[in-house]
Structure 1
Amino acid sequence: MERDGEKVLAGGSEVAEAYSRFKALSESCETVAGEEKGGYVNTASVARDMLEISERLWGLSGVRGRGLQYWGLSYGSVIGSTFAAMFPERVERIVVDGILDTEDYYSTGWRANLQDTDKVLASFSTYCSQAGPERCAFHTGSTPEDITIRLHNLLQKLSAEPLSIPSSRSPTNAPEIITESDVRNLLFVSLYAPLGAFTILAWILLFLESGDGTGYLITARTSFNCDSPGSSKTPNTGAETMLAIACSDGAPVPDDRRAFDKYLRELTSQSKTFGGVWARLRLACTDWKFRPKGLAFSGPYRGNTSTPMLFIGNSRDPVTPIINAHTMSKRFPGSTVLEQNSEGHCSISAPSLCTVKHVRRYFETGEVPPPGTVCEADMKPFMGAGDHVKTMSAEDRELLKGLEKLAMELKPRSWHGI
């Protein structure tokens, strides 16, 4: 099977198409927002707004000298860490969850994201094998390797011959094709929320294997959004906003194809399956026009906060590896890392009473968990909760039910991992 990076480098058409789309998006943003408004599309401006909002809210309640209370997920970890670096004396409670390395983020490096991605994909085969054919539609054989080989063969088949769908069987009433690249992107977004997404993914893969393109389209487009920002298929998904912020925050990215090809090879060495998918994020920032205006903040992104911060990371996160939590924690003395032993993006992707109780205690008292604390997830993909639920108190069962609802309602979106 060709790796995404190799295919892009060989043909160049996917890079050219993505570049053209992002160039059009950049020019559209410049036209709509203009230089004045665009200069405030950045995280430092948000941090200043948060400070003013928190001060005014405390002022309305007649309380002075209180700081920010905040729980930031994914890109929200950049907001929280930036606020803590800019206003360390105004940190009252800050939890950041699904951690981006701020130095990598602000340099527009995007090299600290894919270290654990392939491990999350491998967990699909592991959980499917454990669940059996009754719970996993793509189950085959007796080992995770059997399922991995089956998936590999499906991708090879689509690479050699994309699946065509005539207009008579297309939900859009127009002829369509399903390519290996389409399925690779679908696999990627499923890694964000495995608890609910893996079950759906198994059915989608079964549809594809049997040549049922209609079933694929209906299920995939209902449950996943698998097109990139700037695509005519999915305008105004919200991902454009995230890219605008990231590109405005980051260092300028030159329009240099040779440098991009080198970067693509580097990411493909980190994740054989998804390096090419993630590389397009940086491509989006090529020749980006907006630069921060006013009171810009250029770091350092570290500081001695008035209250210790709490960093949370999953053991296997597709876009914010646990190593980032430890890296960032070292920059804020007194902070600690809470690791959740689960797959998915951010702790809320897998219900854990242990994690949520530590978070609650932190917001109530300011107490961080002891160093080295690891929380187990209470539910797993395909299998749900274990028998330990029977021994839980009624209060804990109710709390777990709420966490499950939150996790299951997380709808994976392409390009969400920033």
Structure 2
Amino acid sequence: MLISIRLAAHRRLAVAVAAAIVCSTTATVPALAQAAAPLSEVPVPQLDWTPCVPGSPFECATVKAPLDYRHPGGRTIELAVVKRKATGPGPRLGSLFFNPGGPGGPGKVQMPQDYEFFPKEVRERFDIVSWDPRGIGYSTAVNCFGSPEKAAAWAESKPIGFPVGKKERATWISAYAELGRLCEKRDPALLRHVSTADTAQDLDLLRRAVGDPQLTYLGISYGTILGATYANMFPGKVRALVLDGNIDPQAWTDHNSTGDPKLPLFLRMGTDVGAAATFDRFLTLCGSAGTAHCAFSAGSPEATRSKFDKLTLRLRKHPVGAWTYAATVDAVANALYVVHPGWTDLGGTLQDLWEGRTPEPPAAVPPPIPYPYAGIEQGGAVSCSDSPEPRNPLAYHRFEAFAAARAGDLGRFWTWAAEPCATWPAVAANRYTGPWNTPTAHPILLVNPTYDPSTPIRDAKAMGRELASSRLLTLNGYGHTALLNPSSCVQGYESRYIIDGTLPPVGANCTQDTPPFTASRPHGGLATGGGAMADSIK
């Protein structure tokens, strides 16, 4: 969404946001100083901050929240929270809450990884705060296997990427049906209380805990649907919300349908089409760049497209080790998220396969905070209970044919990314389905790349049409979200909006600092997202 809501949460769920809704160019944002009246009977939790690891500038805390806000005196869960204090100079203005997408992104790990991507002016004036949403990571988490070894054994039982052929389809469907049964046995109550609406209530509880009268927030990919949900559940508490890589709210909820949805989520969103368009730009730019900048270049865009088609035909019959046709398409889908170094690395991977070599995995960079268990079931528990999918697993072969006709190989990938939800056992007990146009205290800023492989620009425009007051800032560039594909222009507009409420002009456009297949700049974020439960949605 980043959207393949793959449960492992290694991609960011996002959908494009587009409409520049007419509103005043400047909106005064009040300082975060006055006290806010509690909105529920849930007591404000205390945040006892300590260094996450010795010597770290990042501080961690754990708070308790109700499993079910309708019954606040019942079972509680834990939420793992992380903070980096405002660095100054200049007076501190409050806290900026960050959701890294998914669903399934552990903010306790990913905020420290992504910290340098936040505009410098914002880091100076705001504490940057994130958390592992309920069901995820270090918070009270969905864990259907009991051990990493059992989770790994289950993962090895299914095809990589998506199923090819009748036998693999049966194996895929059976594996995810088994996953649902395992999850239902371990903690059925938790499965029904990890919805976006539940997490929006947690977010408001955390806002109260840091003492901010209104919310300042940046959400990417799945974080955009969380932000939109918060804005409509707590419209008076909106100070400044940046939604980057947006999801169409109507696609997420399938609110206009009766009975089973007509299409799976990612096809409703048009993620398959957006991913195919982005990959076509990859092949075009790679072909034009030549082998000095893109190893897979065949000297021209047309020749490079033909080369990829020949490679996939070959891999269908003759995999290179574990690199099957479907595994290669899976790698393509994931590599498109972050241009630097992702696109250059993808060119090298495809060229290795072309020459019959097994590609080497990219070097792992240890995160500032160790990763918790982040099984495939965590992000899927959110998306599958929250976003309706067709319930007949056998229908997905037909959906695959439809998506392949309009989006090629990536259409197949995005179709099966949603299929795990067909047999998921839980439906959210507290699910928000609209309205999405409740007037908010202040307008919302939408940001989206024009070629986003997970949340296409059409979804951003849909988000803009749904919200009561918003403004779209378009990044004329590539990759999933502007945060992970930096633009000084975007950061400048975001800083002014977050600090004092100044919106970009209507129709504002920016470009990326470093186009594809030019000198790379350092990157420190982990792209997440994906498909329902296939492997991840960020």
Question: Do the structures match in fold with TM over 0.5?
Answer: yes
The aligned residue for residue 106 of structure 2 is none
5+ unaligned residues in a row in structure 2: which ranges?
1-161, 255-263, 366-371
Alignment of 1:18-417 (within 5 A): 18-32=172-186, 34-58=187-211, 66-107=213-254, 109-110=265-266, 111-112=268-269, 113-141=271-299, 143-163=300-320, 176-213=321-358, 216=359, 218-219=360-361, 237-251=374-388, 253-257=390-394, 259-293=395-429, 295-384=430-519, 404-406=521-523, 409-411=525-527, 415-417=535-537
Counterpart of 1:277, as a letter, is F
State the Cα deviation string for residues 46-80 of structure 1 (Å, max 9, x = none).
0011112112322xxxx6xx211110000101100
State the Cα deviation string for residues 352-401 of structure 1 (Å, max 9, x = none).
0000111111101112212211111110222037xxxxxxxxxxxxxxxx
Name the CA shift for 1:219/1:35 in 2 (closer, same or farther; >3 Å).
closer
Q: The residue matched to 1:347 in structure 2 has which SS?
A: coil
- Using the alignment, how far apart are the partners of 1:98 and 1:150 within structure 2? 31
State the Cα deviation string for residues 213-256 of structure 1 (Å, max 9, x = none).
2xx1x336x579xxxxxxxxxx9554431111000112364235
Counterpart of 2:412, as a letter, is G
User: 1:190: Cα distance to partner?
Assistant: 1.0
User: 1:127: Cα distance to partner?
Assistant: 2.5
User: 1:43: Cα distance to partner?
Assistant: 0.6
Q: The residue matched to 1:41 in structure 2 has which SS?
A: coil
Q: The residue matched to 2:243 in structure 1 has which SS?
A: strand
Q: The residue matched to 1:145 in structure 2 has which SS?
A: helix
User: 1:19: Cα distance to partner?
Assistant: 1.3
Question: 1:193 touches 1:411 (CA, 8 Å); kept in 2?
Answer: yes
The CA RMSD over aligned residues, in Å, is: 2.4
Counterpart of 2:537, as a letter, is G
Q: The residue matched to 1:206 in structure 2 has which SS?
A: helix
Q: The residue matched to 2:448 in structure 1 has which SS?
A: strand
More helix by percentage: 1
Q: Which has the higher contact order (CA 8 A, sep 6+)?
A: 2
Counterpart of 1:349, as a letter, is L
User: 1:417: Cα distance to partner?
Assistant: 3.4
Q: The residue matched to 2:193 in structure 1 has which SS?
A: coil
Counterpart of 1:269, as a letter, is A
Question: 2:276 touches 2:411 (CA, 8 Å); kept in 1?
Answer: no
User: 1:135: Cα distance to partner?
Assistant: 2.2
More deviation, 359-368/105-114: 105-114
TM norm structure 2: 0.62
Q: The residue matched to 2:425 in structure 1 has which SS?
A: coil
User: 1:199: Cα distance to partner?
Assistant: 1.3
More deviation, 341-350/235-244: 235-244
Name the CA shift for 1:129/1:264 in 2 (closer, same or farther; >3 Å).
closer
- Using the alignment, how far apart are the partners of 2:397 and 2:410 within structure 1? 15
User: 1:16: Cα distance to partner?
Assistant: 1.6
Q: The residue matched to 2:177 in structure 1 has which SS?
A: helix
Name the CA shift for 1:37/1:315 in 2 (closer, same or farther; >3 Å).
same
- Using the alignment, how far apart are the partners of 1:177 and 1:281 within structure 2? 20
Q: The residue matched to 1:315 in structure 2 has which SS?
A: strand
The aligned residue for residue 401 of structure 1 is none
- Using the alignment, how far apart are the partners of 1:56 and 1:210 within structure 2? 56
Q: The residue matched to 2:265 in structure 1 has which SS?
A: coil
Name the CA shift for 1:262/1:139 in 2 (closer, same or farther; >3 Å).
closer
Question: 1:124 touches 1:198 (CA, 8 Å); kept in 2?
Answer: yes
Q: The residue matched to 2:272 in structure 1 has which SS?
A: coil
- Using the alignment, how far apart are the partners of 1:340 and 1:188 within structure 2? 20
User: 1:207: Cα distance to partner?
Assistant: 1.6
- Using the alignment, how far apart are the partners of 2:217 and 2:478 within structure 1? 24
User: 1:413: Cα distance to partner?
Assistant: 7.0
Alignment pair present for 1:17 and 2:145: no
Counterpart of 1:405, as a letter, is P
The aligned residue for residue 87 of structure 2 is none
- Using the alignment, how far apart are the partners of 2:526 and 2:303 within structure 1? 29
5+ unaligned residues in a row in structure 1: which ranges?
1-7, 164-175, 225-234, 386-403
- Using the alignment, how far apart are the partners of 2:322 and 2:495 within structure 1? 48
Question: 1:93 touches 1:362 (CA, 8 Å); kept in 2?
Answer: yes
Question: 1:82 touches 1:301 (CA, 8 Å); kept in 2?
Answer: yes
More deviation, 331-340/297-306: 297-306
The count of aligned residue pairs is: 356
Question: 1:94 touches 1:309 (CA, 8 Å); kept in 2?
Answer: yes
- Using the alignment, how far apart are the partners of 1:129 and 1:240 within structure 2? 38
TM norm structure 1: 0.79
- Using the alignment, how far apart are the partners of 2:226 and 2:166 within structure 1? 35
- Using the alignment, how far apart are the partners of 1:300 and 1:25 within structure 2? 33
- Using the alignment, how far apart are the partners of 2:323 and 2:427 within structure 1? 38
Name the CA shift for 1:411/1:86 in 2 (closer, same or farther; >3 Å).
closer
Counterpart of 1:29, as a letter, is C
State the Cα deviation string for residues 130-164 of structure 1 (Å, max 9, x = none).
432222222222x111111112111111123223x
- Using the alignment, how far apart are the partners of 1:9 and 1:412 within structure 2? 22
Question: 1:9 touches 1:261 (CA, 8 Å); kept in 2?
Answer: no
Name the CA shift for 1:103/1:291 in 2 (closer, same or farther; >3 Å).
same
How many percent identity over aligned positions? Answer: 27
- Using the alignment, how far apart are the partners of 1:300 and 1:262 within structure 2? 32
- Using the alignment, how far apart are the partners of 1:268 and 1:275 within structure 2? 5
Q: The residue matched to 1:378 in structure 2 has which SS?
A: coil
User: 1:204: Cα distance to partner?
Assistant: 1.5
Question: 1:253 touches 1:287 (CA, 8 Å); kept in 2?
Answer: no
